[in-house]
Amino acid sequence: MGKEGVVQIFMDDRESASLKEELEGLGAKVEKKRLEVGDFILSERVIAERKTRNDFESSIIDGRLFQQAARMREQFERSIIIVEGESFEERVKRVALLGALAALMVDYGIPVMFTRGVEGTAEFLFAVAKREQLGEKKEIRLLGERKARTLAEQQQLIIECLPGVGPKRAKDLLRYFYSVENVVNATETELLELEGMGEKRAKDIKKVVKSAYKETGKEKGNNEGEKVN
């Protein structure tokens, strides 16, 4: 996150420049990156996907909508879909449209926000990011990005993958142990030297690091793909 009191938003670099300008006009620090899932990372736990009404209909027709919903839910605690525009083209029957909205909210637990245009979308995104970041001073997680830009970001991303470790604790671990290697090789007793670590978290970390890899059927069948547009 940026300096204290500043709202930072990671924005997919395929999003419009006008939306970036609107967000910056509201006071946000916007950083464009290629995101693996979603279009906006608003905090450590919140991601948002923006669709025009036309694209929302298209994504129902070709099945992208629920693929994207599943991937956002897998990687972030909270997901939001924003549907932008004045009206639908009515390529999807009303019953199917309502069914898709119901599935998103009930089956996937993803709220859907409707806005009239870029200005309304920016205002909503900024409001969520501000509440998340300034309300409890939550840092933005790097796991939603396709790749980190700096060595420090890459190191932080690796440590964030450990159980019970978010952005702040990942940084604390790296500052305390100086390197990813030292964090991974630290004993449970050494991990407990870090304030707030806790025995359960230390045990979980060591279990992940030391246990033999056993590939499950689900993992064998998964192939990593590019972002679904």
Distance (Å, whole) CA 96 – CA 23: 33
Q: How far, in whole angstroms, is CA 138 from its chain's centroid? A: 13
Summarised one tens digit per residue, pLDDT across range 189-200 is: 888 888 777 888
Give me the sign of the Cα torsion angle 148, 150, 152, 155: positive
Domains of the chain, each with CATH number or no CATH: 8-136 (3.40.50.10130), 151-210 (1.10.150.20)
Amino acid at 50: R
pTM: 0.59
Instruction: Say how far apart CA 32 and CA 7 lie, in whole Å.
Output: 14
Helix (H, G, I), strand (E, B) or coil at 191: helix
Distance of CA 206 to the CA centre of its chain: 26
* pLDDT digits 0-9 by tens, 79-92: 999 999 888 777 88
Q: How far is CA 15 from CA 31, 32, 89, 140, 175, in A?
A: 11, 9, 22, 19, 34
